[in-house]
Structure formats: C-alpha cells, structure tokens
Amino acid sequence: MISRILLIMLLAVSTQAKVNIVASLTDLADIARQVGGKHVSVVSIARGSQDPHYVEVLPSSMMKVKRADMYLMVGMELDQWAEQIIDGSRNRQLRIVDCSSDIERVNVPTRKVDASMGDIHPNGNPHYWLDPENGKVIARTIASNLKVVDPRHTEEYDNNLKVFIDSIDELEAHWAMTYSSLNGKSVIYYHDTWPYFNRYFGLTATAFIEPKPGIMPTPTHLDHLIHIINDQHIKVIAMEPYFSQQAPAFLSGKTGATIVHMAQSVGAEENTETYQKMLTYNLEVLMKALNSQ
C-alpha cells in the first residue's frame, strides 16, 4: 500500500515537472517565459545591462546548464562564450536551440572578414531581436522546440505563442500611430547594435562613436563626428548602458545633441522588464529626445 502511494506521488511530481530553460540573454529568456508559461522555469546567463559580446564563463553558469533541458543561444557568433558554458556543463541531454535559425540576416559581409575591420560578425549583425517581427520568429522557434521537449503541453504552448504574437501585433498598431514621426530621423549610435530596430522603425544610423565595431574612438574620429552632427543637424546620440559616457558627453558638449540611454536587452534600463516594454521604452526615449529640441 505504501509503495503504491509513493508511486502515485512520484508520478504526480513527474507530471508537474517544469522544463528548465537557460538562455544566453534576457530577451530570449523573457520570450521563453511568455511562450512556456507555467510549464517552464527560465534563467539567463547575461544580465540585461551587460555587454552580450563579453560574458565571463563561470562555474555557476555551468551548473545552471547542467540542470537544464534546453539552452537558447543567440547564435551568429554573438554568444560564443555560451559554447564553453555548455561544454563545461557536461549535459549530454541538453537541447541546444539557435534562435537565429529562421532570421533574415542583415549586414552580412560581402568580403572576407579580418581583424582590420574591427569586431565584425561574419554571419551578419546578431542583434536581430530588436526588430519586433523577429521577436515573433524567436517565439515560434522556442515554441516548436518546447513541443518536442514537452509534447504533453503542446496546446498550451500554441495558445501562449498566439497570445505573444497578438501582443506584438497590438503594439505594432500602437507604435505606428504614436511613433510614426521617428521614420526618417537620423541618430548617432555608439555601437552598431540597431540595424534591425532601424529597419523596422525607419530610423537611420548616420554614424557611430566607434570608428569600427569594438574600437575606441580617436580624437580625429570624434572631430569628424562633430562636423557630421553640426552639418546634418543630428539631434540624438544613443548609447547602451555598458559603454563609457565620456565620448558621448564630449560630443554633446560640443554640439548640443541629446544623449539617450537605450535598452539593447530586457532589463537594461528601468521599465524594460519585458520584451514588449523594452521596445516601447526605446521608442519613448528617442521620441522625447527628438521632440525636446
């Protein structure tokens, strides 16, 4: 009798077990939470305010992955550090999902990449999650893999996916009405993080504070940017939270351009705790800066 009760209890626990998911970035983690709902437990390796190119490989991260059922990678060589974490976890049952697999890539180099070009990604710019249409693609990729790992809850994953996509559709309609004046505006960015965002919302990256990706600005380059900002009447300098404000502050002091801190990932700034809020936050800070001058 006791053994039968124990068996029933074990079966109950097993049927309630959640799918453990580890994601490289907070963006993938949040989308996974929304798609997985109550049937998943999700953590991310990088913080939202952290530079996703450079993440320290820690034993604690390997332990998280050791207990995971699924790992969500950005791919496109952004999170190469994740490969070391996955290898160190020794989790042979882990399902590794490349969330870039169905993404239409931009800025794919047309010639051989070498060190003189800076931190160029040979498979294209990897910051694809900043286009809301790509958020839908990511959600579909996660949902399809969840249904393989946990087929019992296929219907719920499909329903959650629809809710997520509907929420983006509703926001897109709102954004189109509220932020349409951003279309055609020019911005000086610190790093080339925003081509997918710009493509969707109609913004233009006129220049970058980095003369080449990953390269610190020189006095000559900053002087060149001052001329660009003044000649083209650029109003906004946008930067991610992990970069030094020294160069943007210098440029702002010389030109009067407004510095805005944009959230390249979920949780990078206040009020960006979900994927949807992160995108809306960026539109709001850009609109405020452009309308303040």
68 DSSP 8-state letter: -
Domain boundaries, the chain: 17-102+117-174, 179-291
Name residue, tokens 């097993």.
Answer: 14
Supply the Cα-derived Rg of the chain in whole angstroms. 21
- What tens digit of pLDDT does each residue of 69-98 get? 999 999 999 999 999 999 999 999 999 999
Token digits of residue 78: 């952004």
CATH no. for 179-291:
3.40.50.1980
Residue 68's nearest CA partner among 79, 82, 56 is 82
Q: Residue 196 carries which DSSP code?
A: H
Question: One fold for both 17-102+117-174 and 179-291?
Answer: yes
- Block residue for tokens 């206040």: 270
For CA atoms 64, 68, 74, 78, the dihedral sign is positive
Rounded to whole angstroms, how far apart are CA atoms 194 and 173? 21
Instruction: State how far Cα 151 lies from the chain centre.
Output: 27
246-262 in b/e form (b: 16+ CB < 10 A) is: ebbebbbeebebbbbbb
Return the pLDDT at 135.
Answer: 98
pLDDT class of 13 with cuts at 50, 70, 90: very low
Name the fold adopted by 17-102+117-174: Rossmann fold (3.40.50)
Q: What pLDDT is recorded for position 281?
A: 98
- According to the model, what pLDDT value does residue 121 have? 67
Helices (H), 101-259: 132-149, 154-178, 195-201, 219-232, 246-255
Contact criterion met (CB below 8 Å) for 74 and 28: yes
Please tell me the distance from the alpha carbon of residue 138 to that of residue 150, in angstroms, as a whole number.
18
Instruction: Specify the pLDDT at position 10.
Output: 47
Dist CA 194 CA 185 (whole Å): 14
Which residues neighbour 85 within 8 Å (Cβ) at sequence distance 6 or greater? 45, 57, 61, 62, 65
Query: pLDDT digit string (tens) for 19-59?
Result: 999 999 999 999 999 999 999 999 999 999 999 999 999 99
Give the model confidence (pLDDT) of 146-165 as tens digits.
999 999 999 999 999 999 99
Q: What is the mean predicted confidence (pLDDT) over 128-135?
A: 98
Encoded amino acid at 6, one letter: L
Relative orientation angle of helices 219-232 and 246-255, to the nearest 10 degrees: 40
pLDDT, tens digit, for every residue of 185-237?
A: 999 999 999 999 999 999 999 999 999 888 899 999 999 999 999 999 999 99
pLDDT on residue 252 = 96
